[in-house]
Structure 1
């Protein structure tokens, strides 16, 4: 279930600029809003999520901010419009339309760090009607897709959607999300599955907890791609993201 949240910029409190790396701060703001409305539910999402074979999935994702007018002044982005849009998507369940709309109603929150901070006021929350799902669909990333390939030495590589092993990693991830949400394995074992990049993937290196001793960097990729899979898995890709680290704002897509 997907929602478009329109945010007003409160220029009376802070300035109108954000750090270029604001993805972690958006995740923190989202959890803070969840806590303010339902502490038990937010704590469960943060600490547990949905489980499948000892893997934890927080089955939601969000987009980058859509800012109509802005100026890049490294290391900041200066917002020059009065409003911005933010898309958030949850798999159905506790996250019903009424719950989410009530959760964000009249909320205000701060986003950024000590050098650049913006206060946003929620103007409106609208549910976005889902597309007509088919077994082959074209998607475009709204936030970088993070596809993780485990190495034999235990390390991880972040691979692009056009990597030869990307389709297998995306497939396994979607099957794990299905199991986490449904509580059972996907009923089919032999089905068509394909991932084809339609544009050259553009790398985006995202700093998490930037400027702190806990800083880490995650690489994702922006592109348009074609996905072939059973409709149930296509829905999961749309509702909670492609690839991993979705609850940190990776892998949100729109149908194209």
Structure 2
């Protein structure tokens, strides 16, 4: 928690207002001690985030976002729910027996300010039909200090291309870590995010991507769309400004849907 350790709620909010952008870790519990959700729960977390920031910011991010050409970026990312769980396949539910942790990150100071204020004020959030208590909030600011980072993905990284079918319609091709197109898209995505957020061309210098362990395929549903992503560890080398974007806003695509959240290991 660094400079924020030991501060009370008012002190944390004051420091946020001074311009510190944060990564939040929420400790969540339910009244009966367990959190039971549909297996594919990302959209419920996304909805809870929009509900717990200011209406003006929620409208801006949802309807417009930060643009680069035809691309629009929301500039927030969240992890999977972390904790001990069971899968009830007959009911298609995931059950966290002892609560769960959720990480949320954004480079937008107002986003962090607004979200923290709502969490400290209400003390609970709604995930679909389930109300859960926010029993703890910790904050950190992972800083990239050089031109190399080791990242542990705790929500799947997603890279893809959409193609037209000869007979009509479209299909999506997802790429696996280690493939040339995966690496190309990771770099292009970070450059577009940087330009969209800061309003200037991204720093020169190649982004190199190295896969450090065997990627695990994770197939999930977001609303009615099947999404394929991968959990693994990556080493990224390149301009530290772009590496910081990867840490703050996520890597790959669909970050605001809960994909590409990375823990900084070094």
Q: What residue number does 2:156 align with? A: 144
**2:203 touches 2:241 (CA, 8 Å); kept in 1?**
no
The farther-off stretch of 166-175 and 197-206 is 197-206
Q: What residue number does 2:8 align with? A: none
**1:143 touches 1:251 (CA, 8 Å); kept in 2?**
yes
| Match for residue 104 of structure 2 among 60, 74, 88 | 88
Correspondence 1:124 to 2:141: no
Q: Distance in 1 between matches of 2:109 and 2:97?
A: 37
Q: What residue number does 2:118 align with? A: 103
Q: What residue number does 1:247 align with? A: 256
Q: Secondary structure at the match of 2:193?
A: helix
After superposition, what is the alpha-carbon deviation per residue over 1:69-100, rounded to whole angstroms, capped at 9, x for unaligned?
3222222222211x32110000134234x433
Q: Distance in 2 between matches of 1:152 and 1:135?
A: 38
After superposition, what is the alpha-carbon deviation per residue over 1:127-159, rounded to whole angstroms, capped at 9, x for unaligned?
113144321111111101011234476743111
Q: Distance in 1 between matches of 2:229 and 2:146?
A: 26
Structure 1 regions of 5+ residues with no counterpart? 210-214
**2:87 touches 2:95 (CA, 8 Å); kept in 1?**
yes
**1:133 touches 1:234 (CA, 8 Å); kept in 2?**
no
Q: Distance in 2 between matches of 1:71 and 1:9?
A: 16
Aligned length: 237
After superposition, what is the alpha-carbon deviation per residue over 1:55-81, rounded to whole angstroms, capped at 9, x for unaligned?
1001110001111x3222222222211
Q: Distance in 1 between matches of 2:85 and 2:176?
A: 28
| Match for residue 23 of structure 1 among 42, 45, 63 | 42
Q: CA deviation at 1:33?
A: 1.8
Q: Distance in 2 between matches of 1:121 and 1:129?
A: 24
- TM-score, reference length from structure 1: 0.86
List aligned pairs for 1:167-206, cutoff 5 A: 167-188=183-204, 191-206=205-220
Q: CA deviation at 1:239?
A: 0.4
Structure 2 regions of 5+ residues with no counterpart? 1-21
- TM-score, reference length from structure 2: 0.83
**1:149 touches 1:169 (CA, 8 Å); kept in 2?**
no
The farther-off stretch of 16-25 and 164-173 is 16-25
Which structure has greater helix proportion?
Answer: 2
Q: CA deviation at 1:204?
A: 1.1
Correspondence 1:3 to 2:17: no
Q: Secondary structure at the match of 2:127?
A: strand
Q: Secondary structure at the match of 1:160?
A: coil
